[in-house]
Amino acid sequence: MLSTITCLAVAIYFEARSEPIAGQLAVAQVVLNRVADERYPDTVCDVITEGPTYPSGHPVRDKCQFSFWCDGKPEDIHDYEAWQTAIRVATIATETTAPPIDISEGAMFYHATNVSPSWRHTMHMTARIGQHIFYRLED
């Protein structure tokens, strides 16, 4: 079982490693916002791996919450510097003692700017940071 920081760092690395620190932190906050919401699993690792699986336990391709988890590619970490940054961002996001400032503004969803998912029309855009657009459910 991976630690909370490791699971969050994996998501940051595969979803946002080429983004500025603010974009990486916003991705981390989406995960944490989901953990805090009763509609999603209660742990970071469970939120990140949420989605349908085959009887073998493998995720159904392209049917999970975070694309890296079920895109059919191995989760191999090749960029050590980006991995260390992802760990630092995950640590800051999860271990801060001050009330966190959520730069995603409560976002529970995001997508890259080069895609246009149909669900975006049913949500409120909260931020655009780097190459990601962040959303929360309509108030």
Residue 26: its pLDDT value, please?
96
Does a structural domain hold residue 128? no
Does a structural domain hold residue 127? no
Does a structural domain hold residue 114? no
Residues in the chain, overall count:
139
89 lies in which domain range? 4-102
**pTM for this structure?**
0.90
Does a structural domain hold residue 84? yes
Give the bridge partners for 129, in sequence order.
Answer: 132
Distance CA 13, CA 23 (A): 11
Does a structural domain hold residue 121? no
Strand 109-112 relative to strand 132-137, pairing: antiparallel
Q: State how many domains the chain has.
A: 1
> CATH no. for residue 11?
1.10.10.2520
Residue 81: its pLDDT value, please?
97
Residue 39: its pLDDT value, please?
94
Please report the beta strands in 39-117, taking only residues with DSSP state E, as ranges in sequence order: 109-112
Low-confidence ranges of the chain (pLDDT < 70): 97-100, 139
